[in-house]
């Protein structure tokens, strides 16, 4: 696919997906929606990619839906079959909806929030596994101030990240919050000065790409996103099964060998 509203690049086993409409603060479009999903799945399938970074060009991460599209939005768009994918009965349906596909990507997805994240932009930031942000970035759900509701699974995802009371506050008021408040409630993992955000994010991403087993990351990510649907016993049974597979893997042998030999890891993902 040739991209119009995003940029895609791979370097040092890190794929960067950049929302690329800086003149419109990366306002979300239907073109961008298709392109982001294509790029995420492309990076997920690329054996040369171990970590994915999602960010925005210019001064914003994503300022929400493009108003030119939103004002003419078809009420039936949300249920339009053109957005649906063939259902895979071998995978959890929760991670096959229009926007909830991020947890099904078997690689860490880091949201590098360089500026404002609002509405649908915040939805995508929250579906990332980890969020690093510029200190000056601001956040808002925005939906209630547009006559809309908590869409695309946000009513499920947001409380699991910031807690029930904080989620209700953010959704009902749709107020803007600062980086400091976002950090305090766990909406973001870390804050950095704007001029350090990229360097610190890619330092973290490179550490994952160079020093951590891709196989382990894929299994751990799957475990974490299964937990809301499991009892403790079920999570333990699943972990026991995965542990048995792990100790038979090449990455386990390499994990022990590089530690004993005091050298750089050479994980294959197998």
- 36 or 69, greater pLDDT: 36
The model's confidence at residue 78, banded by pLDDT at 50, 70 and 90, is low
In tens, the pLDDT along 6-26 reads 999 999 999 999 999 999 999
- DSSP letters, the chain, are ---SSEEEEEETTEEEEEE--GGGTT-B-HHHHHHHHHHHHHHHH-TT--EEEEEESTTEEE-SB-HHHHTT--TTGGG-GGG-----TTS-GGGGSSSTTGGGSSS-EEEEE-SEEETHHHHHHHHSSEEEEETT--EE--GGGGT--S-TTHHHHHHHHH-HHHHHHHHHH---B-HHHHHHTTSSSEEE-HHHHHHHHHHHHHHHHHHS-HHHHHHHHHHHHHGGG--HHHHHHHHHHHHHHHTTSHHHHHHHHHHHHTS-------
The model's confidence at residue 147, banded by pLDDT at 50, 70 and 90, is confident
Report whether pLDDT(71) > 60. no
Q: What pTM was computed for the model?
A: 0.91
In tens, the pLDDT along 85-126 reads 667 777 788 888 888 899 999 999 999 999 999 999 999 999
Provide the pLDDT for residue 89.
73
CA 87 to chain centre: 21
Segment 214-221 shows an average pLDDT of: 95
The model's confidence at residue 203, banded by pLDDT at 50, 70 and 90, is very high
Q: Which two tokens stand for residue 107?
A: 């690689």
Report whether pLDDT(77) > 90. no
Q: Which two tokens stand for residue 216?
A: 């382990």
**From CA 199, how far away is CA 69, in angstroms rounded?**
34
The model's confidence at residue 144, banded by pLDDT at 50, 70 and 90, is confident
Give the number of other Cβ atoms within 10 Å of residue 85's Cβ.
11
Of 143, 151, 120, the C-alpha closest to 56 is 120
Asked whether 187 and 154 are in contact (CB, 8 A), the reply is: no
Segment 152-176 shows an average pLDDT of: 94
User: Mean pLDDT, the chain, as a whole number?
Assistant: 91
Provide the pLDDT for residue 74.
59
- 188 or 79, greater pLDDT: 188
Cα–Cα separations (whole angstroms), residue 68 to 16, 36, 65, 71, 117: 27, 20, 9, 6, 18
Provide the pLDDT for residue 5.
97
């Amino acid at each position: 696919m040739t991209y119009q509203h995003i940029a895609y690049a791979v370097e040092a086993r890190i794929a960067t997906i950049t929302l690329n409409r800086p003149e419109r603060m990366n306002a979300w479009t239907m073109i961008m929606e298709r392109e982001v999903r294509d790029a995420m799945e492309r990076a997920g399938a690329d054996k040369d990619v171990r970590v994915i970074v999602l960010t925005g060009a210019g001064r914003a991460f994503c300022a929400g839906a493009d108003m030119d599209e939103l004002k003419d939005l078809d009420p039936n768009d949300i249920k339009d079959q053109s957005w649906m994918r063939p259902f895979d009965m071998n995978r959890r349906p929760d991670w096959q909806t229009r926007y909830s596909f991020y947890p099904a990507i078997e690689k860490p997805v880091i949201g590098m929030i360089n500026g404002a994240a609002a509405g649908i932009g915040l939805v995508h930031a929250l579906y990332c596994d980890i969020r690093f942000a510029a200190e000056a970035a601001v956040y808002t759900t925005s939906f209630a101030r547009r006559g809309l509701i908590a869409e695309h699974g946000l009513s499920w995802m947001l409380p699991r990240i910031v807690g029930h009371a904080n989620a209700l506050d953010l959704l009902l008021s749709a107020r803007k919050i600062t980086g400091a408040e976002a950090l305090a409630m766990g909406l973001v993992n870390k804050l950095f000065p704007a001029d350090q955000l990229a360097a610190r994010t890619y330092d973290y991403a490179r550490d994952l790409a160079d020093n951590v087993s891709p196989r382990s990351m894929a299994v751990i990510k799957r475990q974490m996103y299964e937990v809301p649907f499991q009892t403790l016993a079920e999570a333990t049974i699943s972990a026991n099964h995965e542990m048995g597979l792990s100790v038979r893997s090449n990455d386990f042998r390499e994990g022990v060998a590089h530690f004993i030999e005091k050298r750089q890891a050479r994980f294959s993902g197998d």
